[in-house]
Structure 1
Amino acid sequence: MALLDRVPGDSKLYIGGLFTLRRRDALEEAGVTHVLSVLRLPLDQRLFVPFKHMVVEVDDVEDENLLEHFPATNQFIKEGLDAGGGVLVHCAMGKSRSATCVIAYLMQQHNISAEEALSHLRKARPICEPNSGFMSQLELYGSMSTPQNVEESPAYQRWVFQREVELSRACGQAPDAEKIRFEDEHASQDSVDYELRCRKCRRTLATSQYLTQHASASSNSDPSKARSCAHYFLDPLSWMRPELEQGKVDGRLECPKCHTNVGKYAWQGMQCSCSEWILPAISLSKSRIDEVKPQSSAATGIRRPPGSTSMPPRRGPSKESL
C-alpha cells in the first residue's frame, strides 16, 4: 500500500487531495488524528469520523483571502502534532490550497521563506504549486514575520485596503467609507525627511513617510524621470476624510486651513506625468506644495503625523520592508 505524502521532518504532517480521505487503512497506519480541509465543496461528514476536523472554505482563485486564516490553521496543525497525533491537510487536488496552509505553518515554525518552505514541501509532493495570489500572500506573511494575529498588522491592513480599492475599481465606484484606511491614524512617530506644506498658508499636509513610491519616481530610477512627476502620491490622511468619505470616484483636495486646491484623487487610478499608472491616485500638486525640512528633526529625529496630537505605537513591519 502506498504511504501518504508526509512532509519531511520529525512531525507526522501529511498533505493530500480529497481522495486521500478514503484511504482509511493508510490514515490509520499513519496515526492521523486531525484533518484540515481547505476547500468549499460539499463534504460527506462520514469521511471525518473519528478525526478532529477543521474546514476553511476557500476557492482556489488568486483573489481569495487565505492569509487571514493562517493563524487558525497553524494553530490547528500545531495542536494536533503537539498532542502526538498525525495531521492531514488536504484540498481537492493536494496542490494549491492545502500546500499554501502547510507552507504557512512551515514558515512560522522554522522561520523560513515561502520559497524555502515550498521547496521542502515538494520533496513530499512534487505537484504542490500554490496559485500566484496565494504565493503573494505567503510572501506578505513572511514580511510580516508570521504574526499570531495578522489582522493587527499594519501591512495586512494596507493589503486589505488595496484589495478593497481594486474591487471598487472593478465595480466603477469608490470604496466604502468605513473601509478607507487613513494611514496617519495608525502609523508611529517615525522620523521624516521633509514635510509637504501648503504653499499659500504653510499648513503641513503630509510628511515623507506617507508618500507612496511608484516605479518611475523611485530613487532607483532615472532622477530626471522622478523630477518630471508633477504630483506627490500619498496614502489617505485624516484631513482628507470629509472629501474621501463622500463616495465620489474622484475629486479635488483642498487645504483644510486656507481651502486652496492642493491636489486631487481618483479611486480608479490616474496616469502620472512620468507615464506611470497609480492606483489609487491620491496626490498633491508640486506647484501648490513646498518641501520643507522640519526644524525639529535634527534635535528629536521624529515628527508627529500631520494633524495629529498623539499616535498609538505601530506594530508590524515598516513600509520599507514590504
Structure 2
Amino acid sequence: MDEIIDGLYVGSSMAESDKPKLKECRITHILSVASHYVPSYPNEFVYKLISIDDLPEENIIQYFPECNKFISGALEEGGCVLVHCMAGQSRSAVIAAAYLMQKDGLTSEQALTAIKKKRRQINPNDGFIDQLQLYYDISYDVSPAKALYRRFLINHSAEHYREYGKIENIVAGVDPTTQQMLPTQRLVRCKKCRRALVIEANILDHQAGVGQVAFSYNKRNGSGANTPHAFPQNRACSSLFVEPMEWMDGISDGLIENKIACPKCQAKLGSYNWAGAQCSCGKWIIPSFQIHRNRIDEIRQRLQ
C-alpha cells in the first residue's frame, strides 16, 4: 500500500490482510471498496464496506459523499485510513481521488495525477473517470437537484433497463408547480389549460439527423465546441424531449412505456419509452420522454 497524503493510504486486498503492515502504518480505519468483501480484522479496525464491482457502468459517484465523510472523520481524529479494493488500481484510486478533489478543489485529472505519483499502477476504468469528471462539473455536490447528476442517473436507469429488462432507482424532475418558480429562460405549459409542465433544466435538446443520442451528463469542452453530449435547441423537430417528470403517470411505478398526459386537464401530450424512440428529424433518443410541440406553449422569459 502507498501513502497518498499524510494518513491516507491506497492499496489492495493483500494490504488489508497484512496486519503487521497495517500496524506499522498506524492504520485505524479501513474503507473497503470491493464486491461483497469480508473484513480480515473486524474487531481491530474501524471498517466501512462499499460493495461495488469494477465495471464502467457501476454508479460509484453515489458513494463519494459518505466515503469522504469516513476518510475526513478518521483523519480529523488523528487516525490513518487505508482505502482498498482488490488490486488497488481502480475503485480505491477513484475514491481517494474524489476525496482529494473535494478537499482541495482539484479537477479529476489533477487528483489522479497526484495519486499516480505515489502509486504508479493505478488504472481506473473509463466509466469511473467520467464520473470523477462529473463530480467536478457538479462542484462536488452529489444531488439530484444538479441537472448534470440527474441526467447521469436517468442514463444509468436506461442502461439498467437494457441490461436487465426493468427500471430501478428512477430519479424524476421536480414538478414545477410544487416548487418556487424561479426566473427561467424557458417554460413549457400545456396549450389547453396552461399548466406548467417543465422548465429549462428539464429539457434535452438535440441536433437533427440520424444517429443515437442518450441522456448525457458531460458539459461542453474547454473550447466551447459541442461535445457528443451537448445539444443546441432544434426548432425543426416536431417534438420536445424532456426528463422523466414526477407528474407523468407510471414513472414512480417503473413502467417501461406509457402515454404522457397533462396532470391537470388530461390532454394528450406525447409518450415515453425507456427503450427510446425516434424524433421526426431522424435522431433516435434513449430514453425517450417525448412531448409534441403542437400540444404545448414554449415561453421564453428573461432572467432577472
Q: Is the pair's TM-score, using the shorter chain for normalization, greater than 0.5?
A: yes
Matched, 1:83 2:77: yes
Offset at residue 136 of structure 1 (A):
2.4
Question: In structure 2, how many angstroms separate the alpha carbons of the residues matched to 1:35 and 1:121?
Answer: 18
Within 1, Cα distance between the matches of 2:10 and 2:232? 52
CA shift in 2, pair 1:259/1:6, >3 Å: closer
Which residue type is aligned with residue 18 of structure 1?
A: S
Match in the other structure for 2:158: 165
1:61 is matched with 55
Following TM superposition, by how much is the alpha carbon of 1:166 offset from its aligned partner in structure 2, in angstroms? 3.0
**Aligned partners of 2:258 and 2:272 also within 8 Å:** yes
TM-score (norm. length: structure 1): 0.73
Higher helix share: 1
**Secondary structure at the counterpart of residue 118 of structure 1:** helix
Structure 1 residue 187: Cα displacement: 6.1
* 1:62-141 equivalences in 2 (<5 Å): 62-141=56-135
Q: 1:15 to 1:195 in 2, by over 3 A?
A: closer
The structural deviation recorded for 1:20 is 2.0
From 25, 29, 52, the counterpart of 2:24: 29
Residue of structure 1 aligned with 2:274, choices 267, 276, 279: 267
| Structure 2 counterpart SS, 1:228 | coil
Counterpart position of 1:5: 2
Match of 1:234 in 2: 242
Instruction: Report if the CA contact (8 A) 1:12-1:85 is conserved.
Output: yes
Aligned with residue 10 of structure 2, among 15, 20, 36: 15
Return the alpha-carbon distance in structure 2 between the equivalents of residues 285 and 152 of structure 1.
26
Change (3 A) 1:188 1:133: farther
Q: Which amino acid aligns with 1:273?
A: S
User: Is 1:282 equivalent to 2:276 in the alignment?
Assistant: no
Distance, in Å, in 1 between the alignment partners of 2:187 and 2:144 is 28
SS in 1 for 2:32: strand
Q: Residues 280 and 190 of structure 1: is their aligned pair in 2 closer, same or farther, counting only changes over 3 Å?
A: farther
CA drift at 1:239: 4.2
What is the SS of the residue equivalent to 1:103? helix
Aligned CA RMSD, in angstroms, stands at: 3.5
Q: Contact (CA 8 Å) 2:187, 2:299: kept in 1 or not?
A: yes
1:193-250 Cα deviation digits (max 9, x unpaired): 34444455655544444311234499977x9992432211112334433x65676533
* Partners of 2:245 and 2:251 within 8 A in 1: no
Kindly, what percent of the aligned residue pairs are identical? 33
User: Which residue of 175, 178, 181 corresponds with 2:172?
Assistant: 181
Structure 1 residues 25 and 292, CA gap change in structure 2 (3 angstroms): closer
Is the CA contact (8 Å cut-off) linking 2:188 and 2:297 kept in structure 1? Answer: yes
Aligned length: 285
Residues 86 and 200 of structure 1: is their aligned pair in 2 closer, same or farther, counting only changes over 3 Å? closer
CA displacement 1:97-152 (0-9 Å, x = unmatched): 110111111111111111110011000111112222222222222223224xx456
Instruction: Please state whether the residue corresponding to 2:160 is helix, strand or coil.
Output: helix
Matched-pair contact (CA < 8 Å) for 1:144–1:153: no
Kept in 2, the 8 Å contact 1:91–1:98? The answer is yes
Paired residue for 1:45? Answer: 40
Q: Residues 136 and 227 of structure 1: is their aligned pair in 2 closer, same or farther, counting only changes over 3 Å?
A: same
- Structure 2 residue runs without a partner (length 5+): 210-219
Match of 2:217 in 1: none
- Cα 1:246/1:137, change in 2 over 3 Å: closer
- For residues 171 and 144 of structure 1, the distance between their equivalents in structure 2, rounded to whole angstroms, comes to 29
- Give the letter aligned to residue 29 of structure 1: E
- Structure showing greater radius of gyration is 1
Q: CA deviation at 1:16?
A: 1.2
C-alpha displacement at 1:88, in angstroms?
A: 1.6
Structure 2 letter corresponding to 1:190 = L
| Secondary structure at the counterpart of residue 81 of structure 1 | helix
1:91–1:255 CA distance, 2 compared to 1 (3 A): closer
Greater fraction of residues in strand: 2
The 3-state SS of whatever aligns with 1:183 is: coil
- 1:121/1:188 Cα in 2 relative to 1: closer, same or farther (>3 Å)? farther
TM-score (structure 2 length as normaliser)? 0.77
Q: Distance between the aligned counterparts of 2:259 and 2:206, measured in 1?
A: 21
Q: Give the whole-Å Cα distance in 1 for the aligned partners of 2:196 and 2:225.
A: 27
